[in-house]
């Protein structure tokens, strides 16, 4: 809305600005009234036209129809300049259409209010951030999960830039893609994508908890349980562990000192869940990012070390040191087990019944809210068990 509103006022200002000249030229009193009425109607048309054009261009941007170099988008950038003077777009419906590149996006998202007494009504929401290649094969399951809770969550999707989304307008995923860039598995570009998702989600002040998911992730409990589990937790969920072997400490480069020492070096799956405070820290960080960008290349796999190590150093007590996303590593190798039609339901059951975790200091709680990796052909099995559980 912000884009449209400001363009409208721009259009009105500039046309009304010509008003006096017209009236002066016309001279007589009767004639003075008419042109001004006419010009008001004229203004209205111009304003409506302009807002329509901006609206259409904006939606074309979201679907990636326009290339950045096109004439039309340079026309829009004038309107965007006005929006960008605000710290955050008050209306989230325009938030994903901001057109900001990483540098400005991260900087803007890092702003934190310091004055007490927030004058705005805030509904605490969970930001579900999907880091994907392209399609979302388990979308029907997620649609079910989200149904009836639209006030309590926001969805953000990062897919490869060449992917053309095909969600229907009625889908919860429709129009929720952020401006994306190439991502390479295991590379720091994966962290860049994660930070891009976090920054987009931070622009909305309602978002309080931020969970990173992939297209092969499925929810384990219903929305209410998931929401309360996250909102009522006094810790964030980042998996960190100290692996003394070659694929743990073996990946450490001493040139990371003094920012990161070998004793502080940690490993963990990238699927984190953080609160707003930690999310801001992650996107605002330049200290650790520089070290990882320079000295964690190739088989170091920055995406398994950067955020876990940084969170361990800076927020040891604020993270539960476990992830809320379950995976099966018992097969060995560098990828977790994949669950399909035949074994998805049994994996699901095992994960749900795991109550071995500590939550807010008390033992005997559910460990996981999400699980992966589920192949596309597991959908029917999962939907079936979801029906049983009235997910
Ligand atoms: C959600 O799941 C929890 C835990 O299984 C259950 O107690 C609750 O009744 C469910 N809520 C709904 C609305 O189905
Ligand atoms: C994890 O994978 C192993 C081997 O692939 C399998 O034996 C085990 O049942 C799986 N665990 C769960 C919880 O499904
Ligand atoms: C979380 O709550 C538990 C139980 O009240 C408490 O023992 C623990 O210190 C709290 N942790 C944090 C980080 O506030």
Q: What is the pLDDT of residue 47?
A: 55
- The region of weakest confidence among 28-37, 234-243, 250-259, 376-385 is 28-37
Q: Is the CB of 228 under 6 A from ligand 1?
A: no
Of ligand 2's listed atoms, the one at least distance from the Cα of 351 is 13
User: Which tops the pLDDT comparison, 216 or 33?
Assistant: 216
Q: What is the DSSP letter of 339?
A: B
Average pLDDT over residues 138-166: 95
Average pLDDT over residues 249-264: 97
Pure H helices in 27-163: 29-62, 71-84, 102-109, 139-146
Cα pseudo-dihedral 251, 257, 262, 267, rounded to 10: -50
Q: What is the pLDDT of residue 12?
A: 33
Q: 317: CA distance to ligand 3 center in Å?
A: 9
Question: Atom 14 in ligand 2: which residue has the minimum CA distance?
Answer: 347
Pocket test of ligand 3: the residue of 317, 360, 362 to mutate, having most ligand atoms within 8 Å of its CB, is: 360
Question: Atom 13 in ligand 2: which residue has the minimum CA distance?
Answer: 347
Cα pseudo-dihedral 123, 326, 238, 273, rounded to 10: -20
Residue extents of the structural domains in the chain: 2-84, 133-149+208-388
Ligand nearest to the CA of 338: 2
Question: Atom 4 in ligand 2: which residue has the minimum CA distance?
Answer: 331
Name the pairing type of β-strands 207-214 and 273-275.
antiparallel
Query: Over the chain, what is the mean pLDDT?
Result: 82
Say if residue 54's pLDDT is above 90: no
Average pLDDT over residues 144-160: 96
Give 23's pLDDT tier (boundaries 50, 70, 90).
very low
Please report how many Cα atoms fall inside a 13 Å half-sphere around the Cα of residue 380, on the Cβ side.
3
pLDDT in tens, 60-117: 444 434 343 344 444 555 555 544 445 555 455 456 888 889 999 999 999 999 999 9
Cα pseudo-dihedral 158, 163, 168, 169, rounded to 10: 60
Q: What is the pLDDT of residue 88?
A: 58
Say if residue 149's pLDDT is above 70: yes
Helix (H) or strand (E) holding 387: helix 379-388
Pocket test of ligand 1: the residue of 221, 222, 348, 389 to mutate, having most ligand atoms within 8 Å of its CB, is: 222
Q: Is the CB of 222 under 6 A from ligand 1?
A: yes
Read off the pTM.
Answer: 0.80
Pocket test of ligand 3: the residue of 322, 361, 363, 364 to mutate, having most ligand atoms within 8 Å of its CB, is: 361
Q: Which two tokens stand for residue 201?
A: 């989600």
Q: 15: CA distance to ligand 2 center in Å?
A: 69
Give 57's pLDDT tier (boundaries 50, 70, 90).
very low
Q: Is the CB of 346 under 6 A from ligand 1?
A: no
Q: How far apart are CA 312 and CA 281, in angstroms?
A: 13
Q: What is the pLDDT of residue 97?
A: 82
Question: Atom 7 in ligand 2: which residue has the minimum CA distance?
Answer: 330
Q: 349: CA distance to ligand 2 center in Å?
A: 12
Say if residue 203's pLDDT is above 60: yes
Helix (H, G, I), strand (E, B) or coil at 129: strand
**Cis peptide, bond prior to residue 374, ω within 30 of zero:** no
Pocket test of ligand 1: the residue of 225, 226, 351 to mutate, having most ligand atoms within 8 Å of its CB, is: 225
Are 374 and 381 within 8 A, CB to CB? no
Please report how many Cα atoms fall inside a 13 Å half-sphere around the Cα of residue 2, on the Cβ side.
19
Q: What is the pLDDT of residue 77?
A: 53
DSSP string, 233-288: -SSBB---B---STTTGGG--GGGTTTS-TTT--B--S--EEEHHHHHHHHH--HH
Q: Which two tokens stand for residue 7?
A: 């363009």
**Angle between the N-to-C axes of helices 188-202 and 276-284, in degrees from 0 to 180, rounded to the nearest 10:** 130
Q: What is the pLDDT of residue 94?
A: 56
Q: What is the pLDDT of residue 43?
A: 47
Q: What is the pLDDT of residue 331?
A: 79
Q: If we measure between CA atoms, which residue out of 257, 269, 247 comes closest to residue 295? A: 257
The residues with which 128 forms a beta bridge, in sequence order, are: 155, 211
**Cis peptide, bond prior to residue 344, ω within 30 of zero:** no
Helix (H, G, I), strand (E, B) or coil at 130: strand
């Amino acid at each position: 809305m912000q884009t449209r509103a400001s363009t409208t006022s721009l259009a009105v200002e500039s046309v009304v600005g010509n008003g006096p000249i017209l009236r002066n030229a016309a001279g007589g009193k009767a004639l003075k009234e008419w042109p001004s009425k006419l010009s008001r109607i004229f203004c209205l048309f111009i304003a409506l036209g302009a807002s329509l054009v901006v609206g259409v261009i904006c939606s074309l941007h979201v679907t990636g129809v326009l290339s950045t170099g096109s004439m039309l988008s340079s026309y829009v950038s004038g309107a965007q300049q006005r929006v960008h003077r605000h710290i955050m777009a008050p209306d989230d419906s325009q938030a994903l259409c901001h057109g900001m590149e990483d540098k400005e996006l991260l900087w803007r998202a890092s702003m934190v209010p310091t004055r007490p007494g927030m004058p705005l009504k805030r509904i605490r929401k969970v930001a579900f951030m999907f880091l994907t290649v392209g399609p979302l094969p388990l979308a029907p399951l997620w649609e079910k999960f989200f149904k009836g809770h639209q006030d309590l969550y926001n969805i953000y999707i990062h897919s490869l830039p060449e992917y053309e989304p095909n969600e229907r307008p009625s889908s919860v995923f429709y129009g929720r893609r952020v401006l994306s860039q190439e991502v390479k598995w295991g590379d720091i570009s994966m962290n860049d994508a994660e930070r891009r998702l976090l920054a987009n989600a931070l622009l909305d002040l309602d978002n309080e908890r931020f969970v990173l998911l992939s297209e092969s992730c499925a929810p384990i409990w219903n929305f209410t349980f998931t929401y309360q589990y996250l909102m009522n937790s006094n810790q964030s969920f980042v998996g960190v562990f100290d692996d003394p072997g070659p694929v743990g400490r073996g990946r450490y480069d001493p040139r990371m000192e003094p920012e990161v020492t070998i004793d502080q070096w940690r490993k963990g799956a990238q699927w984190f869940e953080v609160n707003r405070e930690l999310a801001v820290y992650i996107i605002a960080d330049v200290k650790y990012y520089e070290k990882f960008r320079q000295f964690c290349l190739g088989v170091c796999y920055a995406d398994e070390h950067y955020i876990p190590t940084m969170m361990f150093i800076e927020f040891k007590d604020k993270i539960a040191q476990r992830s809320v996303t379950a995976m099966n590593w018992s097969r060995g190798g560098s990828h977790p087990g994949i669950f399909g039609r035949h074994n998805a339901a049994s994996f699901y059951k095992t994960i749900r019944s795991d109550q071995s975790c500590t939550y807010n200091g008390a033992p005997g709680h559910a460990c996981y809210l999400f699980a992966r990796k589920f192949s596309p052909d597991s959908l029917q099995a999962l939907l079936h068990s979801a029906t049983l559980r009235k997910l």
